[in-house]
C-alpha cells in the first residue's frame, strides 16, 4: 500500500491543501493519505497563530466535507499535536511504519520544503524510510495544477475582513468565526 504522509501547520487548512489531497487520490498516486497537523514545528521561527488543537479541529472539519469516496481514504492524525516537545517528521514516520508494517510511505512535500530537507532532524534516516513525493511549487516536482493560495494569505484576508469564500471550507470558516481566530 502507498500511504501518503501530508504534514503541515494548516494554519488554517485551505482549498490549496484540499486540492492537493484530492489530486493525489483521484490520480491514484497514493492509496491513502494521513494528514498530520504539526504540533510544535521546530523549524519555524514564528509559532503557528492558532493552537495545535484548533488546527487539528479545522483539519478534521475540512476533511469531513469531502465526498465519501475521498474521505474514506484519508485519516487525520493527532500524533504530532499530542506529542510533547518539538515536532519531528522522523518520529511520525517511525510511528507509522511500526503500526503498519510493509506500508510504503510517500512523504508529500512542496518543492520549497523538499529543497530544505537536508536541514530536517535526522534527515538521512528519514529519507531512508520514505519516498519523497515532491509537489511542484515554484520548482520541480509533480504538477497537480496547484492553487496559488497560502495560509498566510488567508490569515491576512481574515484579519482585514476580506472575503475568503472558496479559499477555505465553509465549516472551517464557521469554526474560525466561532473561536475568534485570526481576528484583529
* Dihedrals phi, psi of 145, to nearest 5 degrees: 55, 50
Q: What is the pTM of this model?
A: 0.94
pLDDT at residue number 84: 87
Residue 86 pLDDT grade (very low, low, confident, very high; cuts 50, 70, 90)? confident
pLDDT per residue as tens digits for the range 22-62: 999 999 999 999 999 998 876 666 778 999 999 999 999 99
The C-alpha atoms of residue 74 and residue 63 are separated, in whole angstroms, by 8
SS3 readout for the chain? CEEEEEEECCCCCCHHHHHHHHHHHHCCCCCEEEEEECCCECCCCCCCCCCHHHHHHHHHHHHHCCCHHHHCCEEECCHHHHCCCCECHHHHHHHHHHHCCCCEEEEEEEHHHHCCHHHCCCHHHHHHHCEEEEECCCCCCECCCCCCCCHHHHHHHHHCCCCCECCECHHHHHHHHHCCCCCC
- Structural domains of the chain, ranges and CATH numbers in brackets: 2-178 (3.40.50.620)
pLDDT digits (tens, 9 = 90+) for 128-156: 999 999 999 766 899 999 999 999 999 99
Amino acid at each position: 500500500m502507498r500511504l501518503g504522509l501530508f504534514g503541515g501547520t494548516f494554519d488554517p487548512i485551505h482549498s490549496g491543501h484540499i486540492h492537493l489531497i484530492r489530486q493525489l487520490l483521484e490520480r491514484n498516486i497514493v492509496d491513502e493519505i494521513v494528514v498530520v497537523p504539526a504540533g510544535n514545528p521546530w523549524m519555524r521561527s514564528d509559532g503557528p497563530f492558532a493552537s495545535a488543537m484548533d488546527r487539528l479541529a479545522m483539519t478534521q472539519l475540512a476533511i469531513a466535507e469531502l465526498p465519501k469516496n475521498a474521505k474514506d481514504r484519508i485519516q487525520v492524525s493527532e500524533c504530532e499535536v499530542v506529542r510533547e516537545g518539538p515536532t519531528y517528521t522522523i518520529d511520525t514516520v517511525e510511528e507509522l511504519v511500526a503500526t503498519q508494517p510493509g506500508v510504503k510511505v510517500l512523504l508529500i512535500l512542496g518543492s520549497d520544503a523538499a529543497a530544505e530537507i537536508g536541514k530536517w532532524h535526522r534527515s538521512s534516516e528519514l529519507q531512508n524510510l520514505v519516498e519523497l513525493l515532491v509537489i511542484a511549487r515554484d520548482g520541480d516536482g509533480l504538477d497537480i495544477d496547484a492553487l496559488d493560495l497560502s495560509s498566510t494569505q488567508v490569515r491576512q484576508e481574515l484579519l482585514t475582513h476580506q472575503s475568503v469564500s472558496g479559499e477555505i471550507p465553509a465549516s472551517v470558516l464557521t469554526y474560525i468565526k466561532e473561536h475568534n481566530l485570526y481576528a484583529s
